[in-house]
Amino acid sequence: MTVDLVISNAKLVTPRGIVEGGIAIDGGVIVAVAKDPHLPRADSVIDAKGRPVLPGLLDGHPHTTSPPDTPLTGTRAAARGGFTTLLEMPGYQVPTFTPEQFDEKRRIYERDSYVDFALHGACASGYPRGSLTGMWKLGATGIKFFVSDPGPGWPQTFDGEIIEGFKELAAVDGLALIHAENDQMIKDNTKRLKAEGRKDYASHLDARPPIAEIEAGKRIIEYLKLTGCRGVIVHTGVPETIDYARRARIEGADVYIETCPQYLFLTEDHVKKLGTWAKFAPPARSKETAAEIRGLLAAGQIDTVATDHAPYPKEEKEAGLKDMLAAPNGIPGLETFLPLMLNAVNDGWLTLERLVEVTAENPAKIYRVWPKKGSFTPGADGDVVIVDLKKEVRVSNDDLLTACHWSPYDDWKLKGAPVMSLIRGEVVMEDGEVLAKKGFGKYVPRID
């Protein structure tokens, strides 16, 4: 038997350990995992040179329609960053509030995406009952809810509507994805800060204090328990929410926790120094809190890590240089994610096994694209990322493919980077160069 491709001389990383060997891929899927002498002959061989080889990474929280990004620029940046599958978040720019909108967005990504993709839908006020289940039946991997004001173009839902949405999803075993911050607390704080003439960088921290995130997280978890709906508390930056979720799981609830690199590596000190370039919501917290989140991630208390990639044009973010409260919330992250996480591995507080668990296996299981994605299991798609733990990189705004061309990590020196990635057995990135073409990415339907 001769297969299309063999990746040999690899350290294969799974959540259960690291083994030396290789992978055989034929027809775009993995057909064998074995020690090198036992791998089949292949038309093409890639020598991993003894480096770690990870299952293809999934990002459960990108916004690649957030201007100036488009599916073209955003998915190309994802390919460069080592991601092989994006589970695209909704946004008002290309809304997914109805099944019809969901279908249209899928067609756009089928035309433009450089990487494989799935789509999350969204819950907004005023749309007919049945919209959420309609999108779920079309293959949505989750439905996004905001407890706080999502901003223009996204009609805000309040608690009664959120509970009804959870009930609708629970009836079809759907999954809710929740941005949990106390809306009224944020609005009251912002009104007060503006009245005081506050425009400084720290005003963002005071407008959205930890208690706003803690209270909303606890409340939403109670709603999930009440309705029996599965849910992910996204971009979690406070340990209290993680503890509430842990307790809820003991009681039988399906509640998951997502965090992001910005809650591991950025702190309120960065916000005070960088201002608008480190403005996102919920905000970065104290050094002590970031250290606690890192510890909880290492200890297995956090289910998945995602980017919350949400770039904005420099022109819009620059409004925050004069008035922090006027700038939009969001930072890019698709190209810096894996170097940041590999740097953590080199720092010794995160293992490669745990990294694979929270970026490949767990998100694939939570969003129900497992074992097609996030796995080395024979029959899985041939999605692979080869990383070099010794490679040193310096983040540079000038070098980013992300259309905004800025990053809060500009000039950070990191150790560890992806050097090659494959999707369905095809090389899509090598040494930072994206080799895939637009439209290469395929839609990944949910597996129920």
What are the tens digits of pLDDT across the range 278-305?
999 999 999 999 999 999 999 999 999 9
Lay out the sheet containing 175-179: strands in order across.
121-122, 143-146, 175-179, 230-233, 255-259, 304-305
Here the CATH number for the domain that contains residue 32 is 2.30.40.10
Residue 344 has pLDDT above 90, yes or no: yes
Residue 285: per-residue pLDDT:
99
Of the candidates 342, 347, 228, 239, the residue with the CA atom closest to the CA atom of residue 286: 239
For residue 241, the surrounding DSSP H or E stretch is: helix 239-250
Domain for residue 89, yes or no?
yes
Domain for residue 212, yes or no?
yes
- SS3 assignment, position 277: helix
Residue 363: per-residue pLDDT:
99
For residue range 394-426, what is the model confidence (pLDDT) as tens digits? 999 999 999 999 999 999 999 999 999 999 999
Residue 381 — very low, low, confident or very high, per pLDDT cuts 50/70/90?
very high
Do residue 251 and residue 391 come from a single domain? no
Domain for residue 446, yes or no?
no
Domain that holds residue 100: 56-366
CA distances from residue 29 to 9, 38, 310, 352, 381 in whole angstroms, order as listed: 19, 18, 32, 23, 4
Residue 128 has pLDDT above 90, yes or no: no
- SS3 assignment, position 25: strand
What residue has token string 């006027």? Answer: 326
Peptide bond connecting 282 to the previous residue in cis, omega within 30 degrees of 0? yes
Residue 340: per-residue pLDDT:
99
Residue 424: per-residue pLDDT:
99
Residue 73 has pLDDT above 90, yes or no: yes
Q: Report the greatest alpha carbon distance in the chain.
A: 74
Do residue 319 and residue 407 come from a single domain? no
Do residue 62 and residue 48 come from a single domain? no
Domain for residue 439, yes or no?
no
Give the domain-ending residue among 366, 396, 419. Answer: 366
Give the domain-ending residue among 341, 366, 391. Answer: 366
Domain for residue 405, yes or no?
yes
- The DSSP output letter for 349 is S
Residue 92 — very low, low, confident or very high, per pLDDT cuts 50/70/90?
confident
Specify the pTM: 0.97
Residue 336 has pLDDT above 90, yes or no: yes
CA-based angle 380:360:238, to the nearest 5? Answer: 160
Strand partners, 305: 259
CA atoms of 82 and 331, how far apart (whole Å): 18
Give the domain-ending residue among 366, 393, 412. Answer: 366
- The share of the chain scoring above pLDDT 70, in percent, equals 100
Residue 167: per-residue pLDDT:
98
Average pLDDT over residues 248-268: 98
Do residue 362 and residue 388 come from a single domain? no
Average pLDDT over residues 323-349: 99
Q: DSSP H helical segments within 348-440, as ranges?
A: 352-356, 362-366
Asked if residues 335 and 345 have their Cβ atoms less than 8 Å apart, the reply is no
Domain for residue 375, yes or no?
no
Do residue 165 and residue 128 come from a single domain? yes
Residue 129: per-residue pLDDT:
87
Residue 325: per-residue pLDDT:
98
Do residue 217 and residue 168 come from a single domain? yes
222 Cβ contact list (under 8 Å, min separation 6) = none
Residue 91: per-residue pLDDT:
87
Do residue 335 and residue 226 come from a single domain? yes
Residue 198 has pLDDT above 90, yes or no: yes
Residue 339 has pLDDT above 90, yes or no: yes
Of the candidates 266, 282, 263, the residue with the CA atom closest to the CA atom of residue 274: 266
Do residue 179 and residue 217 come from a single domain? yes
Specify the amino acid at residue 297.
Answer: L
- The share of the chain scoring above pLDDT 90, in percent, equals 97
CA dihedral 179, 181, 183, 186 (to 10 degrees): -130
Do residue 385 and residue 424 come from a single domain? yes
Average pLDDT, the chain: 98
CA atoms of 358 and 307, how far apart (whole Å): 12
Residue 1: per-residue pLDDT:
85
CA distances from residue 27 to 4, 6, 292, 380, 428 in whole angstroms, order as listed: 7, 12, 44, 11, 16
Residue 160: per-residue pLDDT:
97
For residue range 426-441, what is the model confidence (pLDDT) as tens digits? 999 999 999 999 999 9
Domain for residue 125, yes or no?
yes
Do residue 148 and residue 199 come from a single domain? yes
Residue 104: per-residue pLDDT:
97
Domain for residue 443, yes or no?
no
CA atoms of 289 and 270, how far apart (whole Å): 14
Do residue 94 and residue 42 come from a single domain? no
Residue 45: per-residue pLDDT:
99
Residue 93 — very low, low, confident or very high, per pLDDT cuts 50/70/90?
confident
Average pLDDT over residues 334-351: 99
Do residue 25 and residue 76 come from a single domain? no
Residue 12: per-residue pLDDT:
99
For residue 43, the surrounding DSSP H or E stretch is: strand 41-47
CA atoms of 403 and 68, how far apart (whole Å): 6
Here the CATH number for the domain that contains residue 212 is 3.20.20.140
- SS3 assignment, position 204: helix
Q: How many domains, in total, are found in the chain?
A: 2
